[in-house]
């Protein structure tokens, strides 16, 4: 027995598959950007802290 959604939804079109692929690619790009931003923040954060400490020591 066929279910109603199987009959009404029909086969997936290439446009729907491409749309899903594009969304996945955007998600991967955003994840990569987030990782780079976090690493840069962690690296620059320690550098900025060291500079602030040097300024405080000079005062």
Task: Assess if residue 55 is contained within a domain.
Answer: yes
pLDDT category of residue 59 using cuts at 50, 70 and 90: confident
Task: Assess if residue 51 is contained within a domain.
Answer: yes
Distance CA 45, CA 49 (A): 6
pLDDT tens-digit readout, 3-54: 555 555 656 666 666 667 788 899 999 999 999 999 988 888 888 889 989 9
Query: How far are the Cα atoms of 4, 7, 20, 35, 39 from residue 17, in angstroms, in the given order?
Result: 22, 19, 5, 27, 33
What is the pLDDT, as a whole number, of residue 7? 56
Tally of domains in the chain: 1
Which helix or strand (DSSP H or E) is residue 24 part of? Answer: helix 14-58
Task: Assess if residue 18 is contained within a domain.
Answer: no
Task: Assess if residue 38 is contained within a domain.
Answer: yes
What is the pLDDT, as a whole number, of residue 22? 83
Identify the domain containing residue 42 by its residue range: 24-59
What is the pLDDT, as a whole number, of residue 46? 86
Task: Assess if residue 9 is contained within a domain.
Answer: no
Task: Assess if residue 39 is contained within a domain.
Answer: yes
What is the pLDDT, as a whole number, of residue 9? 61
User: Helix or strand or coil: residue 38?
Assistant: helix
Task: Assess if residue 17 is contained within a domain.
Answer: no
């Amino acid at each position: 027995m066929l279910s109603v959604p199987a009959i009404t939804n029909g086969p997936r079109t290439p446009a729907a598959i491409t749309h899903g692929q594009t969304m996945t690619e955007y998600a991967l790009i955003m994840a990569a950007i987030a990782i780079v931003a976090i690493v840069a923040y962690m690296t620059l954060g320690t550098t900025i802290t060291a500079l602030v400490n040097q300024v405080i020591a000079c005062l």
